[in-house]
Amino acid sequence: MKRKPSNLKTHRTPLLLIVLAGTVIASALLGFYGCDNRSGKLPQATVRIGNDSIWQMPSVNTIPKGEKGQIIRYGRELLTHTAKYFGPKGSIARITNGMNCQNCHLDAGGKLFGNNYASFIASYPKKGNRSGRLETPADRIIQCFERSLSGQSPDTAGHEVQAMLAYLKWAGQGVKPGKKLFGSASGKLPFLPVAASPVKGKLVYSAQCQRCHGADGAGILAANDTVFTFPPLWGKHSYNDGAGMYRIGNLAAFIKNNMPQGITYKNPKLTNQEAWDVAAFIISQPRPHRDQRSDWPDLNLKPIDAPFGPYIDNFTATQHKYGPFGPIVKAQEALRRNDKINKI
């Protein structure tokens, strides 16, 4: 589809929802929700068994014809091959690090526990805990460009961002606000009783990750030297330390569910320990820095694995980065209980 690129400013089959019976959901949860397949143990579930639905990405064959369908397809193309258009050698603008949105939102945003797009549109508008203000879907795209793509955002009123939004709306068609869907985000892993180890994680990286992402974590460029066949995990072309993937909990769960390439939440290759450790190794490596002093204005809403202070507790930034997280959770719960009592 040929269109004039929009002006850029540097700032910023129908959807099938299957409600499963409790026994089926329980079986599915055993496959991932915090479960180490080698132990067979199921920790506390993070969803209620009776109220979940399995989401399935609509088939691309159902994208409508005509101009509406062209916009949706263009949005899909931009999200799967972002660097081609906005990377260091982008054809529209050169405003990002060279990664693609699809590097974190797998299979064009269609994979369970691969940060899929199922409830993206249905989740907005909402107050963002990190920003402290009311956000729209376009605001979230800006954040991804500035953090995960470590660059600048296209004009959110321009054709490219509007095409992305059209695809995201198509992908999440039929998903209602507040609906809990099995397989959203990247899942959660149970906390380790000790801190995750970058030293042990380096061994896991060498054995399981290095062949695709390189010994230096710089990824592998395609033959055209324009896009990455395998994305960089650290260094100047990777996501910055303000991205969600820099939080160890997000990264460890994403790795457990999706890596090495080809596995799913049903057939994980790494143990929980290995996933935590290799995530610790990756976030211990150098990458671009983002000023986050304005993030999390309400410290009570700040995630426990946010790697930069301040915090409501007295634990170090290092423990917030690598764990162990159990003591932090208990301390914060006690602080909130005391605060509630004092307000009575």
Question: For the residues of 14-71, what is the DSSP string, one character each?
Answer: ---EEE--HHHHHHHHHHHTT-BTTTTB----SS-GGG-EEE-PPPGGGSPSHHHHHH
Give tens-digit pLDDT for 85-138: 999 999 999 999 999 999 999 999 999 999 999 999 999 999 999 999 999 999
pLDDT of residue 52: 58
pLDDT of residue 12: 40
pLDDT of residue 43: 29
What's the whole-number mean pLDDT along residues 5-20?
A: 38
Give tens-digit pLDDT for 222-233: 988 889 999 999
Classify the phi-psi angles of 187: left when phi > 0, otherwise alpha if psi is within -120 to 50, otherwise beta: left
Per-residue pLDDT at 192 exceeds 70: yes
72, 63 in Cβ contact below 8 A? yes
How far apart, in Å, are the Cα atoms of 219 and each of 98, 99, 103, 160, 235? 11, 10, 12, 26, 10
155, 5 in Cβ contact below 8 A? no
Residue 172: φ, ψ to 5°: -100, 20
Question: For the residues of 287-309, what is the DSSP string, one character each?
Answer: ------TTS-SSGGGS-TT-SSS
pLDDT of residue 19: 31
| Torsion of the alpha carbons at 170, 95, 221 and 216, rounded to the nearest 10 | -110
Collapsing DSSP to helix, strand or coil, 241 comes out as coil
47, 180 in Cβ contact below 8 A? yes
Integer Cα distance of 180 and 2 in angstroms: 38
Find the helix packing angle between 159-171 and 66-80, rounded to 10°.
100
Using the structure block, give the residue that is written with the tokens 């953090």.
147
Number of H helices, E strands in the chain: 12, 7
Q: Please state the separation of Cα 228 from the chain's center in Å.
A: 19
What's the whole-number mean pLDDT along residues 294-317?
A: 97
Per-residue pLDDT at 292 exceeds 50: yes
Amino acid identity of residue 141, one-letter, is I
Per-residue pLDDT at 6 exceeds 70: no
Integer Cα distance of 203 and 184 in angstroms: 29
Give tens-digit pLDDT for 15-48: 333 333 333 333 333 333 333 333 333 222 233 3
pLDDT of residue 233: 98
281, 198 in Cβ contact below 8 A? yes
Half-sphere exposure of 139 (CA within 13 A, CB side): 13
How far apart, in Å, are the Cα atoms of 307 and each of 16, 285, 310? 38, 13, 10
pTM to 2 decimal places: 0.84
pLDDT of residue 139: 98
Residue 229: φ, ψ to 5°: -70, -40
Using the structure block, give the residue that is written with the tokens 């004039």.
4
Give tens-digit pLDDT for 240-278: 999 999 999 999 999 999 999 999 999 999 999 999 999
Give tens-digit pLDDT for 128-174: 999 999 999 999 999 999 999 999 999 999 999 999 999 999 999 99
pLDDT of residue 21: 34
